[in-house]
A and B are shown apart, each in its own frame.
Chain A
Amino acid sequence: MDAALQTREPPGPPPIYRSAGRRLPEVSGVFHGRELTRKERRLACGIEVIDRLLAGGILRGRLSELVGAVSGGKTSLAMAFAAQATQREAAAWIETGNSLDPLSLTASGINPARMLWVACPAPSHGRTLPALKVAEWLLGVGGFGLVVLDLAGEQRLLPIGVSLRIARAAEASGAAVMVLAERRVCGAPAALTLSLTGRQARFSRSAPQAPALFDGIEVELTVRHNKLGGVGAGVRWSAVTAWDSRSGRARRSAAAAEPRPLAVDAG
């Protein structure tokens, strides 16, 4: 897989995203006197390798999917996008269960005051997911930079009409809509599908007799579907543990997270 990853060079970000003042065009929609097109208005996640792979981030006003199995890193990546969005904008996190962890939100750098959380009930048999209805309502309000639709337990493909309605609502509101699921559920209306696979769970010891520590998961990200091209490209990145504020136990920071011999292949 490594070789396959290296065979495709990810396209570089457009010039405006290489500039120091990247924030201004994102907000104003104008750069060097030129109005940015939809393709140029993107939401970055702050993980440099992924932003470079996606030419600046996921598209605003479009539907993107993050798919992967349990411990694949999709929640961590979605939170990274949300952290960037809530620096200046409002975001919404709609989930079908009740699994969002507030400590993970703050550890990811998300401003909780700008994050609207909705935990939707399970749908009754044969009915549309309430989460989709909620997403459509919130997109109708407008003003959200990112709407995360966490359908982690959803296995079925959504009805095409529903996906289309969400995609159109996203386009009208200009918000980036991100769907988290175990497999592709949006079908053709999704502009981008990123597949995430947990390759390695990293454990380490600070000394031979010291207790083992969980350091994080190494994740492989592949562009499964992209309407703007670049399908098949991929990168590896790491979702690492940070500071566990509740227990008061200091965990190793990223800078110090050197892999130790205890690395275990979890795939």
Chain B
Amino acid sequence: MYRGRFIPASDGSLPAAVQPTELTADEADARRAGGRRIACVLIADFPIAALVRTNPEWRERPLALTRQARPRPARGGTAATSSKEPAGQWTPYGELSHVAPVAAAMGVRAGMTIAQGRALLPELIVTHPSPAAEEAARAALIDVAWSFSPVIEERAPGCVWIDLSGTEGLYRQEPYAAATALEQRIAEAIARRVRGIGLEAAVGIASSKELAYLAARCGGLRLVANGREREFLDWMPLELTELGTASGGLPDWLKRMGLRRLGDLARLDPHAVGTRMGAAGVALARLARGEGSALVRARPRPEDFTEALELEYGIEQLEALTFLLRAMLDRLCARLALRGLAVGGLTLGLGLADGGRDERRITAAAPTTESAALLTLLRLNLEARGPAAAVETLRLTAEARQPRPLVNDLFQPPAPAADRLGVVIARIAALCGPDRVGTLLAADSYRPEAVRVGAFAPSAAGAAPPQSTLAGKTPAGKPDVAPIALRAVRPAEEVEVLCLGERPQFVRGKRVCARVISSAGPWRRQGEWWSAATGEEQAGPVARPAAYARDYYELALADGGVYRVYYDHQRGQWFVDGVYD
């Protein structure tokens, strides 16, 4: 960008020949903005708000944070929940860094020592800031902002700017609605969604980022209409203008000069302010005149849907752990729902009291935002294999997936609801075993008894396989036949067979004992001799003959059953491995 060189004239005005030919970056921003509206979402006392979000029972309690090192709980002190104040002893000279509004109303202030705070308010709850909770709250706030516009910028944790350009149409209920009413509706929607993730936000909407931030700092919902910026700023105390580097120690200096509000500064000559106060003074003067940057700089960021919790006590009981996981899942699902996504899987990381880590991954049968279903999966997983020690930290990460479309084929019957089916299959796996539920398929083996179990996914099933020539109504006047089914006997049951020559005459075993009426066979089946040559089967604890050579018979017995029986040449024994039914 070309910029003209600034040469001050003797009379202080700029000569026409050297007037800047192009705008400064801020001027270009303002020019491009041209009626752009920016929303600022601000969470007051963010470290406390983040902590209250993970511990909702502290919402109306006098709470204060201290940066003092975390005290260790008394020996053997484990509790079911973290709803109470930690039992460790804080040193009385520790300084309070943040104070919740309830405690502040009773006179407790940041900067006081713990002893001073407790002297004013004996029931003051003192705890440590939780970086994990702050990170989760910060990500959740960004998710809320993303649900309104993809053009967002994070000013600091707990403060986000949203470019509202182009979003008005989503909230316009009548064609010629007043802009103020429309923005009021947007601000209410933002506050409502922030409340949905467990935070309370102040929302300001104005024509520039700085102005929107100042509006949000006033609390509640505040709109600054275009052209009425000066009216809003004139009364604004200079103490509120802590706008990063632009402020510096300037407000104090200005106060000494007798300037207390932005309106006082706006009435001064900007050139004079720039000469005396430098760049920071110019920026402050521009803010006082209602000028500011309206360009929200959106940056790509990784999508991380994580909720974390740090406990003061180790949790050993599954019920207490489930209680905490339920709240975490609710928050995660709310965040994903804001983005139009669903949970495809969960990764649960547990920090244990013995210093170990326990990480487990749970896959949902289908993407879902039903926290109850996901909680069941988590609980079943924890019941199947509990943590080795008491749990001190929890970290729950969701894998975001596009939700399953709910539109079914008009001419297809409804399929089982995938999320509910996933939960039920997980329950069945816990009851019967994971290898006893799914889709039963023949394994890639020549052994007749070889089967494998695949995952059941009816929605992914293609067209039905070609019908057996026998299935259904057969042509040529055979409407009364169907394929016969074999009921397998697993594992094959050893029987004693009396033969006359090569013909079986009598079968005696645990479940069958009868004379042979008729028989078919033998049919020789042999295979897998090649794996015996490699000796791989002998490596196991139990030497199992890999190769098999069997003579199969179909025997109709006098008890009415038709059995499949084979003679194993490797073992020299008879087995029954199925009954036709």
Q: Is the CB of A116 within 8 A of B437?
A: yes
Q: Is the CB of A113 within 8 A of B461?
A: yes
Known: A87-B464, A89-B413. A114 touches B458 (CB 8 A): yes
Which residue on chain A has the smallest CB distance to residue B437? A118
Tell whether A62 is near chain B: CB-to-CB under 8 Å: no
Tell whether A76 is near chain B: CB-to-CB under 8 Å: yes
Q: Is the CB of A115 within 8 A of B481?
A: no
Interface residues of B in 459-493 (CB under 8 A from A): 460-462, 464-465, 467-476, 478-490
Q: Is the CB of A264 within 8 A of B480?
A: no
Tell whether A111 is near chain B: CB-to-CB under 8 Å: yes
Q: Is the CB of B482 within 8 A of A46?
A: yes
Least Cβ–Cβ distance between A117 and chain B, in angstroms: 4
Contact of A201 among B486, B523, B556 (CB under 8 A): B556
Interface size class of A (residues with CB under 8 A): 35 or more
Contact flags A85-125 to B (C-beta < 8 A → 1, else 0): 01111100000001111111111110111111111110000
Known: A255-B476, A266-B517. A142 touches B416 (CB 8 A): yes
Contact flags A160-201 to B (C-beta < 8 A → 1, else 0): 000000000000000000000000000000000000001001
Q: Report A-chain residues with C-beta under 8 Å of the C-beta of B437.
A: 116-119
Tell whether B88 is near chain A: CB-to-CB under 8 Å: no
Q: Is the CB of A98 within 8 A of B581?
A: no
Tell whether B173 is near chain A: CB-to-CB under 8 Å: no
Contact of B520 among A45, A203, A242 (CB under 8 A): A203
Tell whether B427 is near chain A: CB-to-CB under 8 Å: yes
Tell whether A213 is near chain B: CB-to-CB under 8 Å: yes
Known: A119-B436, A198-B560. A242 touches B485 (CB 8 A): no
- Partner-contacting stretch, out of A1-9, A11-19, A245-253: A245-253
Known: A102-B451, A140-B424, A211-B521. A216 touches B484 (CB 8 A): yes
Q: Is the CB of B485 within 8 A of A47?
A: no
Q: Report B-chain residues with C-beta under 8 Å of the C-beta of A137.
A: 424, 427-428
Q: Is the CB of B417 within 8 A of A141?
A: yes
Tell whether B518 is near chain A: CB-to-CB under 8 Å: yes
Q: Is the CB of A237 within 8 A of B480?
A: yes
Tell whether A157 is near chain B: CB-to-CB under 8 Å: no
Least Cβ–Cβ distance between A95 and chain B, in angstroms: 9
Q: Report B-chain residues with C-beta under 8 Å of the C-beta of A138.
A: 416, 424
Known: A115-B439, A217-B580. A246 touches B446 (CB 8 A): yes
Known: A71-B581, A120-B436, A266-B556. A76 touches B490 (CB 8 A): no
Contact flags B523-552 to A (C-beta < 8 A → 1, else 0): 101000000000000000000000000001
Give complex CA distance A182, B524 in Å.
33
Known: A88-B413, A106-B465, A264-B556. A117 touches B440 (CB 8 A): yes
Tell whether A231 is near chain B: CB-to-CB under 8 Å: no
Least Cβ–Cβ distance between B4 and chain A, in angstroms: 73
Give complex CA distance A202, B442 in Å.
27
Q: Is the CB of A247 within 8 A of B560?
A: no
Q: Report B-chain residues with C-beta under 8 Å of the C-beta of A100.
A: 440, 487-488
Tell whether B415 is near chain A: CB-to-CB under 8 Å: yes
Tell whether A158 is near chain B: CB-to-CB under 8 Å: no
Q: Is the CB of B520 within 8 A of A75?
A: no
Known: A115-B439, A217-B580. A254 touches B561 (CB 8 A): no
Contact of A108 among B431, B436, B468, B519 (CB under 8 A): B468
If over half of A's interface residues share one DSSP class (helix, strand or loop), that class is named, otherwise mixed; here it is mixed
Known: A98-B490, A254-B481. A115 touches B417 (CB 8 A): no
Q: Is the CB of A240 within 8 A of B482?
A: yes
Tell whether A238 is near chain B: CB-to-CB under 8 Å: yes
Give complex CA distance A141, B411 in Å.
21
Contact of A246 among B448, B473, B519 (CB under 8 A): B448
Q: Is the CB of B467 within 8 A of A213?
A: no
Give complex CA distance A118, B425 in Å.
9
Contact flags B268-303 to A (C-beta < 8 A → 1, else 0): 000000000000000000000000000000000000
Tell whether A10 is near chain B: CB-to-CB under 8 Å: no
Interface residues of A in 23-44 (CB under 8 A from B): 24, 27-28
Q: Report B-chain residues with C-beta under 8 Å of the C-beta of A267.
A: 560
Interface residues of A in 213-239 (CB under 8 A from B): 213-214, 216-217, 235-239
Contact of A99 among B464, B480, B488 (CB under 8 A): B488
Least Cβ–Cβ distance between B101 and chain A, in angstroms: 46
Q: Is the CB of A99 within 8 A of B489?
A: yes
Q: Is the CB of B485 within 8 A of A255?
A: no
Which residue on chain A has the smallest CB distance to residue B525? A247
Q: Is the CB of A240 within 8 A of B481?
A: yes
Give complex CA distance A264, B562 in Å.
11
Q: Is the CB of A86 within 8 A of B424?
A: no
Known: A100-B440, A241-B484. A142 touches B414 (CB 8 A): yes
Give complex CA distance A190, B254 in Å.
90
Contact of A83 among B438, B458, B472 (CB under 8 A): B472
Tell whether B412 is near chain A: CB-to-CB under 8 Å: yes
Contact of B518 among A102, A242, A253, A262 (CB under 8 A): A262
Which residue on chain B has the smallest CB distance to residue A180? B581
Contact of A111 among B421, B432, B461 (CB under 8 A): B461
Known: A70-B559, A134-B428. A108 touches B448 (CB 8 A): no
Contact of A75 among B416, B446, B487 (CB under 8 A): B487
Tell whether A77 is near chain B: CB-to-CB under 8 Å: yes
Contact of B486 among A45, A101, A142 (CB under 8 A): A101
A sample of 23 inter-chain contacts (CB < 8 A) reads A27-B411, A46-B472, A50-B480, A70-B560, A72-B581, A76-B483, A88-B464, A99-B488, A104-B484, A104-B485, A106-B468, A109-B471, A114-B458, A130-B431, A133-B431, A142-B417, A203-B520, A212-B518, A236-B480, A240-B483, A242-B484, A247-B552, A266-B556
Known contacts A143-B421, A241-B484, A242-B468; can you find 4 more A-B pairs with CB under 8 A?
A71-B561, A83-B472, A203-B556, A239-B485
